[in-house]
Structure formats: structure tokens, C-alpha cells
Structure 1
Amino acid sequence: MVNSYANEIWPLAIYFFMVIMLVVTMLVLSWLLGQRRREAATNDPFESGVVSVGGSQIRISVEFYLVAIFFVIFDLETVFIFAWAIAFFELGWQGYLAMVVFIAILGLVLVYEWRSGALEWGNKTRVGLESAQKSAEVK
């Protein structure tokens, strides 16, 4: 029994040793072939061939975060739909009806987001705000 365990562990030990040797070799080669002296431009941030100018501390609009959250939510639902599609025949009519309800709820959520203006960028004017502003102007 001990002999079979040793036979099973040898490939793992050899693999681990080879990984360590590869990492050490890459670090030594980087040190040997790397740049010895630093120039003024070495520490400058560089993106896609363009030297960056200005600061990076800008305010990002909330709409970007909302779109990212909506993407994550609807992307997660896509995972559920794919899992359902794989088990479609095993689930039968109950699974089909459950997915129809699930997709209907997703559709209602999308319609709600659309109607509430969550998907609109720029100046948001909602129906309730417009009527309140008009009544305030009349007075």
C-alpha cells in the first residue's frame, strides 16, 4: 500500500519541481537580460502608444455603474437559461412552465427599467416630475 502511494505521488512531485525550476529560470533570465539603468521615461505610465496627460481622478457617471449592474443581473439569468436548456427534456412541462414564468419576470423587470428611465442617459425627465414642474410654474 505504501508503495502504491509513492508511485502515485511521484508525478505530482516531478510536476511541482518542474514548475519551481521554470519560475526560477524565468526570474534569473529576467535579471540577466533586463535593463540595468533606469531612464526618466521608464517609470511613466504608458497606454497604447500614447503618453497619458492630466490626472486620472475624474468622476464617472452613475449610468456606467447601472449598466454594469444590469449586465451582471441579466448575464446571471443567461446562465440559468443555459442550464435549463441542457436539462430541457428531463424537466418536462413543469420545467418549461417554470422557465416561461422566469423569462416573463425578466421581461417585466426590463420593461420596468426602461419605463423608469434607468436605461436612459443624459437629462432624465419623468412624467411625474414634468407635471409637478408645470403646476409649480402656473402658481
Structure 2
Amino acid sequence: MVDLSQYLPILLFLFIALGLSALFVFLPMGVSRLTGAHNPDAEKLSEYECGFPAFEDPRSQFDVRFYLIAILFIVFDLEAAFLFPWAVSLDLTGWPGWITMMIFLGELAVGLAYAWKVGALEWD
């Protein structure tokens, strides 16, 4: 027989978290409706960021190159994040740590060269 009483604190935590998140979402909406702050008119519903209506459907697809640039940025950002702890602990890891990082940087260099060769970094 499995003792499920150990999961009671986790279940209690999940119910409290769900209740608080629902409270934080729905309480301000209810208060604004009751106090009269919810009063939409043409001025409130107009465009406010750029000052003029959008030309295209806002749900149009992005160009694939945008995603390629974003993915490459994330890869090289993570590379920089891996370099800092490696540099700090290099005296502990020694030559095996250095060789492993050089292999990692070599793989990233090959990936960057490939992306450069196929034109993933060019923006027309």
C-alpha cells in the first residue's frame, strides 16, 4: 500500500498557488467593473504605440530569417554563459577541462561558419 499522505503539502501548496493566482487575475478585473473604471470608448480603443492603424494583419508570419538570427543569438549567448564558470574553474579541471572547452568552441565555430556560408546572417 502506498502512503499518499506525504503528497498532501504539495497538493496544498498547489491549491494555494492556484487560488492566489486566480485572485490576482480576477480581483482587479472585478474591482474595475464595479468601480466604473471599465469604460471603453473610441479614444481608449485607438492605436497608441505608433499613432496610426496597422497596415497588415497582426497575426502575419515572421520571416524565417528572424528566427534563425534569434536562435543563433541564443546559442552564442549560452556559449558566453558557459565560458564564465569554465574560466573560474579551469584550475580545478586542468587540461581535460581545457580540451573539452576547445572542442565545444570548435563545434560552435563550425556552426557559425556554416550559418555564415548558407547566408543565415544576411538580412535583405
Task: Report the TM-score when normalising by structure 1.
Answer: 0.54
Provide structure 2 residue ranges, at least 5 long, that are not aligned to the other structure.
Answer: 1-19
Map 1:81-92 onto structure 2 (within 5 A).
81-92=83-94
Whole-angstrom CA distance in 2 between matches of 1:115 and 1:38? 53
Counterpart residue number, 1:43: 45
Whole-angstrom CA distance in 2 between matches of 1:110 and 1:38? 50
Fraction of identical pairs, as percent? 32
Counterpart residue number, 1:55: 56
Tell me, what secondary structure is at the counterpart of 1:90? Answer: helix
Deviations for 1:54-103, whole angstroms, at most 9, x for unmatched residues? Answer: 33343422111111111122222222222212322211122112112211
Whole-angstrom CA distance in 1 between matches of 2:65 and 2:94? 40
Structure 1's 114 and 53: CA in aligned 2 closer, same or farther, altered over 3 A?
closer
Q: Identify which range, 51-60 or 83-92, moves more after superposition.
A: 51-60
Aligned residues: 101
Structure 1's 47 and 70: CA in aligned 2 closer, same or farther, altered over 3 A?
farther
Q: Based on CA coordinates, which of the two structures has the bigger radius of gyration?
A: 1
Map 1:122-133 onto structure 2 (within 5 A).
122=124
Q: Which has the higher helix share?
A: 1
Whole-angstrom CA distance in 1 between matches of 2:49 and 2:42? 19
CA RMSD of aligned residues (A): 3.1
How far apart are residue 32 of structure 1 and its match? 4.2
Counterpart residue number, 1:94: 96
Counterpart residue number, 1:73: 75
Larger RCO (alpha carbons 8 Å, 6+ apart):
2
Structure 1's 111 and 40: CA in aligned 2 closer, same or farther, altered over 3 A?
same
Counterpart residue number, 2:117: 115
Aligned mate of 1:34, from 34, 37, 45:
37
Structure 1's 95 and 119: CA in aligned 2 closer, same or farther, altered over 3 A?
same
Structure 1's 51 and 105: CA in aligned 2 closer, same or farther, altered over 3 A?
same
